């Protein structure tokens, strides 16, 4: 018997995954450097970093471009991690923060703040908007959880169906606010819902980033539990997973991280759905690697999309959701067509 093959196989696979992660990390570093270097204003980045240049370029680099790149990266990473976690939890590659109403809940929270207290949203936007968006996301997920638990079982189908209903309900709320709002609020709302990293300043970025990271770290640590859940919920329990607690953690952490992201950058389409797919195609479905890989690729993709959004039509900019969809969708199709025939 040639048992040597068998001993080698796991090692080779492990190497492939680590190699894949390293590659994604390198990609992220490259995109990050490009994002920091590109923009409407030509900035001698090395001079600025060395402190030689301290004029307008330095201000733009440190006060405008750097927080924006950081925000894009963190929002992209957390959206991708939340997407991968929810896809794992629901054992459905089509699950998405948008699908179970988390994004719409956040949007509804923020929109209600914009429409009902425009003065507050203007002056204290840095605090009021994220809080109301997170409250919206949490309200949706808490209701989802309570509703599903009431019926004793906590099945995935129940969550998905209730999520669809909540999504519709949140959209009704957004539509209603849109109808009630006056002209100016309506325009804020529309542009805010198209997503942008343009409002990034350290004062708004740092609290949001801290919050998103705090909620994303527990998700990153659920890799093994999510893997075991792929065998089925009873099977995961048989293997020692506290299924209820895992579900609760994944849902709550996804809600907080997505809500905080929605609040500072609007709804960024597509990343939560596609990045986990692409990562899976690159390094396989194993969540211990998938979550980290999704974070790296999500950050890279969001930074890239934002760079395109702010450089393509300078001095104006394009809504970033337009770019994430335009960049992601064809790439995704191409990847599927490459991988399927095997």
Partner 1 sequence: MFRMLWLSAALLAFHQPAAACETSSDSSRIAVAGGSLTEIIYFLGAEARIVAVDSTSIFPQAASAFPSVGYVRALSAEGLLSLRPTLVLGEDDMGPPEVLAQVGRAGVDIVRVPETHTAAGILDKVRCIAAVLDLADHGESLVREKLDPMVAALESIRVSAAKPPQAALILQMSAGAPTVAGAGTSGDGFLRLARLRNSFAELSGWKPVSPESMAIAQPDYIVITQRATRTGDGLERLAPSPALRAALQGRNGMADGLIAMDGMAMLGFSPRTLEAALDLSRQIH
Partner 2 sequence: MTLLVEGAELSIGRARVLSGVSVALRPGTVTALVGPNGAGKTSLLRIMSGEIAPASGAVRVDSRPLQDLSPQQQARCRSVMTQHPRMAFDYIVEEVLEMAWIHGCRERFRRAAMTIALDCDIRQLVGRKFNTLSGGERQRVQFARALLQIWRHREDATEPRYLLLDEPTASLDVAHELLLLRITRKISERNIGVLLILHDLNLAARFASHVILLANGAVQAAGSPEAVFTNNVLSQAYGARMHVERHERLGRLLIHTD
Of 168, 239, 333, 336, the one binding partner 2 (CB under 8 A) is 239
Give the per-residue contact string, 94-133, with partner 1 (x = CB under 8 A; - = no): ----------------------------x--x--------
Of 217, 242, 333, 336, the one binding partner 2 (CB under 8 A) is 242
C-alpha 296/C-alpha 75 separation (Å) is 11
Torsional class of 232: left (φ above 0), alpha (ψ -120 to 50), beta (otherwise): left
Q: Which does 218 bind (CB under 5 to 8 A by kind): partner 1, partner 2, none?
A: none
- Give Cα separations from 40 to 37, 110, 150, 189, 315 (angstroms): 10, 30, 54, 26, 6
Residue 152 interacting with partner 2 (CB under 8 A): no
Of 34, 64, 156, 169, the one binding partner 1 (CB under 8 A) is 64
Q: Is residue 261 a contact partner of residue 282, using CB atoms and an 8 Å limit?
A: no
The minimum distance between CB 314 and partner 1, in angstroms, equals 5
Q: Is residue 107 a contact partner of residue 173, using CB atoms and an 8 Å limit?
A: no
The minimum distance between CB 226 and partner 1, in angstroms, equals 36
Residue 183 interacting with partner 1 (CB under 8 A): yes
Residue 9 interacting with partner 2 (CB under 8 A): yes
Of 238, 314, 330, 333, the one binding partner 2 (CB under 8 A) is 238
Comparing CB distances to partner 2, the nearer of 240 and 315 is 240
235: which residues sit within 8 A by CB, 6+ positions away? Answer: 228
Binding region for partner 2 (CB under 8 A) out of 44-52, 198-206, 228-236, 323-331: 228-236
- Residue 102: alpha-carbon gap to chain centroid: 11
Q: Which does 119 bind (CB under 5 to 8 A by kind): partner 1, partner 2, none?
A: none
Of 65, 249, 277, 280, the one binding partner 1 (CB under 8 A) is 65
C-alpha 249/C-alpha 226 separation (Å) is 11
Helix (H/G/I), strand (E/B), else coil: 316: coil
| CA-CA-CA-CA dihedral for 146, 150, 151, 156, to nearest 10 | 20
Residue 34 interacting with partner 2 (CB under 8 A): no
Q: Which does 217 bind (CB under 5 to 8 A by kind): partner 1, partner 2, none?
A: none
Q: What is the largest CA-CA distance in the chain?
A: 77
Comparing CB distances to partner 1, the nearer of 162 and 320 is 320
C-alpha 232/C-alpha 212 separation (Å) is 29
Alpha helices in the chain (DSSP H): 4-37, 45-50, 56-59, 66-89, 102-116, 118-123, 125-150, 156-180, 183-193, 202-220, 223-229, 233-238, 243-265, 271-283, 287-311, 320-339
Binding region for partner 2 (CB under 8 A) out of 164-172, 210-218, 282-290, 291-299: 282-290
What are the φ/ψ torsions at residue 38 (nearest 5 degrees)? Answer: -95, 150
Give the per-residue contact string, 286-315, with partner 2 (x = CB under 8 A; - = no): x-----------------------------
Q: Which does 146 bind (CB under 5 to 8 A by kind): partner 1, partner 2, none?
A: none
Which spans of this chain sit near partner 1 (rule: CB under 8 A)?
A: 39-41, 56, 59-60, 63-65, 122, 125, 179, 181-184, 186-188, 191-192, 196, 198-201, 204, 310, 313-317, 319
């Amino acid at each position: 018997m040639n048992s040597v093959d068998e001993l080698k196989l796991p090692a080779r696979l492990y190497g492939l995954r680590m190699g894949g992660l390293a590659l994604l990390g390198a990609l992220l570093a490259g995109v990050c450097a490009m994002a920091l270097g590109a923009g409407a204003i030509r900035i001698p980045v090395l001079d600025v970093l060395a402190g030689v240049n301290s004029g307008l370029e330095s201000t733009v680099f440190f006060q405008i471009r750097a927080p924006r790149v950081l925000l894009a990266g963190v929002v992209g990473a957390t959206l991708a991690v939340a997407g991968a976690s929810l896809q794992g939890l629901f054992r459905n590659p089509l699950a998405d923060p948008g699908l179970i109403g988390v994004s719409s809940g956040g949007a509804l929270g923020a929109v209600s703040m914009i429409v009902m207290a425009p003065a507050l949203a203007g002056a204290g936007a840095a605090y009021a908007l994220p809080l109301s968006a997170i409250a919206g996301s949490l309200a949706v997920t808490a209701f989802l959880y309570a509703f599903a638990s009431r019926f004793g079982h906590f099945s995935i189908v129940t969550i998905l169906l209730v999520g669809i209903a909540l999504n519709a309900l949140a959209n009704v709320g957004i539509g209603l606010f849109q109808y009630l709002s006056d002209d100016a609020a309506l325009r804020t709302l529309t542009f805010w819902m198209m997503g942008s990293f343009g409002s990034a300043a350290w004062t708004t970025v740092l609290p949001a980033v801290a919050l998103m990271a705090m909620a994303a770290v527990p998700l990153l640590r659920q890799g093994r539990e999510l893997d075991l859940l792929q065998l089925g919920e009873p099977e995961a329990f048989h293997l020692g997973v506290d299924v209820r607690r895992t579900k609760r953690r994944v849902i709550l952490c996804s809600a907080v991280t997505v809500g905080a992201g929605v609040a500072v950058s609007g709804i960024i389409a597509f990343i939560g759905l596609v990045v986990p797919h692409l990562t899976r195609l690159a390094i396989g479905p194993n969540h211990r690697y998938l979550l980290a890989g999704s974070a790296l690729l999500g950050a890279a993709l969001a930074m890239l999309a934002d760079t395109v959004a702010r450089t393509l039509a300078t001095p104006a900019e394009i809504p970033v959701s337009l770019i994430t969809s335009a960049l992601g969708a064809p790439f995704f199709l191409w990847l599927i067509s490459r991988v399927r025939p095997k």
